[in-house]
A and B are shown apart, each in its own frame.
Chain A
Amino acid sequence: MARTEQTARASLGDREGLLGTLMIAPAFVYIAALVGIPFFLAIALSMSSATIGDPSIHGFVGLSNFVHAIHESAFPLALRNSIIVTFGTLILTLVLATAESELLVHDFRGKWLLQILLILPWAMPVSLASVDWLWLLDSEFSPVDWLLRQMHLLGPGTVWGPANHLYFYGKEWLGLGAVTVINVWRLLPLATIIVLAGRTAISHEIFEQAQVDGAGFFRTLFRITIPALLPLLVVAGMFTALIVFGDMAVVALTTRGGPGYATQLLPYWAYLKGIEGGALAEGAAVALFMFPILLAGAILALRMAYRAESN
């Protein structure tokens, strides 16, 4: 009797609906706790009068934090700089990642060494990397300055003279350029790995066919390789753009947004305002400015990737 009862009852493993819900629950809790709640908290914060001294979100002030932020002189600069740095990094990264994947897809002597060198920036701790870059572009001891002086491009009586130093982190465009270059250096390995995965998946016969059909290097690159890589270029581009647009580490460790607000970026400005300046609510408002842009960018990129893939 007991045996028949046992076999008749369905175990948990047989109840697929319940089992599925149970198994997906941890992921749901995790996303809600670490993404959902902070996000709605940030929205609530941005519409309150909270400060570091009084971090309660009870004082509802509507959109006045946003209006106030827009009218600050730093806002248009930070927005402009964020867009410039993001697009600059995006374009340079995609061009270089395509070039690198084209190089790495072929076999040659010493390829392993090149692969290690190309992947190294990814494995390097941010603190160590920032020391490197602070020294490379230092106002007094920059080896880049030294190299330019040796080439007679910098110093008294030369094109970029008469000063002996470029002061990378002290000038608007050099500062933005430096931030862009460091971002490219940092994100190129990831983009290269993504693009290379796509490049190795393209059948070798396609390229041989193009060779026999009479296509030269550039025709093959622009008519065969890049269109075939497009879905992965979009993915790599999206990763790059989202990381750069939301990043404050590079600018915080180099120019610190200066001189004035000349190289200020939105995320760093939000941090300075909200945490350093104590205006929690305004900081949250500035940070949220980026959200619609990031969301629109992500949706657009995913749609492009999907369309390119389905073709």
Chain B
Amino acid sequence: MATLELRGLKKKYGGIYAVNGIDIAIKEGEFLAILGPSGCGKSTTMRMIAGLEQPSAGEVLIGGKPVTHLPPRERNVSMVFQSYALYPHMTVTENILFPLKARDVPKAERETKLKWAAGMLGIEPLLQRKPARLSGGEKQKVALARALVRDPALFIFDEPLSSLDAQVRTMARSELRLLHDRTGVTTVYVTHDQIEALGMGDRIAIMQRGQVRQLGTPKELYDNPADTFVAGFLGSPPMNLLERGGRIVGFRPEHLLPALPETAANDAFALQVRVQRLEFLGADWLIYGQLEGGGQEEKILSKVSPSVAGTLREGELREFRVARAHLRLFDPATGLRVDDGPH
């Protein structure tokens, strides 16, 4: 268990910065999710933390100690790869013991640790199996046990759930977070899946083009995106972004509701919307609309409950409203937030 600090971290590949100046400080026991689209530099950042890549500039500190130029084995970090990278010719037991043997841990201690880790993840019945005879979920647990077994200063996860089936993934998400809470190991979790980042992270760092666009709690990022990239990336579907009066106005689809005829639009942002399509999502309905009145064609999304969706017809023109408190304003030139945001 330790803190992790990245200072001005950069990585250049053939003239292009894959990672271009990252500063993040992670508290002891914190769960940080690094979220971003593919090619944003999150994997490179993770690999520099693990020591698999040498930074072009900047520093990595684990537990306050600079480890920038240390090889992976000197950093005491555990890593779970996307493929789980289990050693195919070794049994589950041999896989879990491998990092302990590599560190010359005495046999008696190895056995204790093996029992503890296997018990923690409930994989005792699998210990004599080879990886080829494990399911995706079982492989993931073995990889976790192997990562856990040597009391690492830091856990690094590289999209560990992305190769699981959708049904297993939800369970695995909560199990992984519970495991973190039980062991309290500082964790860096790299993902392109915002549901994982929002659901598991104490804080999220959203990356784009080698830089951190925003760092904060999931709620901060969702409610108060720092720029149009974060606003347009986070949320499913993401924020509606419209250009109005020299500003970009952003609001979430769930805050855009059809106006009731009897209420007055006293403190709301009103839009005339041509309803194009109603889409059933299960718990909610998604409304695809087009703004009327403006010069250019602007598409807009609204997410409503089934009772509200029942009042809408495809093809009709309706007034939709957003409460002013839910509007977020951005500068069109820089994309940065310009209002302070209501708190």
Q: Do A and B come from one complex?
A: yes
Query: In whole angstroms, what is the CA distance A212 to B83 when docked?
Result: 15
A220 → chain B, closest Cβ, in Å? 9
The reply on B72 being an interface residue by CB < 8 A is yes
Chain B interface extent, by class: 20 to 34
Whether A208 pairs with B81 at a CB distance below 8 angstroms is yes
Interfacial residues of chain B within 140-182, with CB under 8 A of chain A in the complex = 146, 150
Q: What residue in chain B is nearest A213 (Cβ atoms)?
A: B99
Interfacial residues of chain A within 105-159, with CB under 8 A of chain B in the complex = none
Query: In whole angstroms, what is the CA distance A213 to B98 when docked?
Result: 7
B82 → chain A, closest Cβ, in Å? 8
Contact flag A211-B72 (CB < 8 Å), given A203-B83, A228-B89: yes
The reply on B87 being an interface residue by CB < 8 A is yes
Whether B146 pairs with A213 at a CB distance below 8 angstroms is yes
Using an 8 Å CB-CB cutoff, how does the interface string of B63-82 with A read, 1 for contact, 0 for none? 00000000111000111011
Whether A212 pairs with B89 at a CB distance below 8 angstroms is no
Total A residues in contact with B, Cβ cutoff 8 Å: 19
The reply on B32 being an interface residue by CB < 8 A is no
The reply on B257 being an interface residue by CB < 8 A is no
The reply on A6 being an interface residue by CB < 8 A is no
Q: What residue in chain A is nearest B143 (Cβ atoms)?
A: A209
A11 → chain B, closest Cβ, in Å? 45
Interfacial residues of chain A within 202-220, with CB under 8 A of chain B in the complex = 203, 205-206, 208-216, 219
Query: In whole angstroms, what is the CA distance A59 to B79 when docked?
Result: 75
Point out the residues of chain B lying under 8 angstroms from A224, CB to CB: 87
The reply on A260 being an interface residue by CB < 8 A is no
Instruction: Identify the A interface with B (CB < 8 A).
Output: 203, 205-206, 208-216, 219, 223-224, 227-228, 230, 311
- A sample of 24 cross-chain residue pairs with beta-carbon separation below 8 angstroms, ordered by A number, consists of A203-B85, A205-B81, A205-B85, A206-B88, A208-B72, A209-B79, A209-B81, A211-B52, A211-B71, A212-B50, A212-B52, A212-B78, A213-B98, A213-B102, A214-B73, A214-B102, A214-B103, A215-B73, A215-B98, A219-B102, A224-B87, A227-B89, A228-B89, A311-B130
Q: Known pairs A210-B98, A213-B102, A224-B87. 10 more at Cβ < 8 A?
A: A208-B52, A211-B51, A211-B72, A213-B99, A214-B103, A215-B73, A215-B98, A227-B89, A311-B89, A311-B132
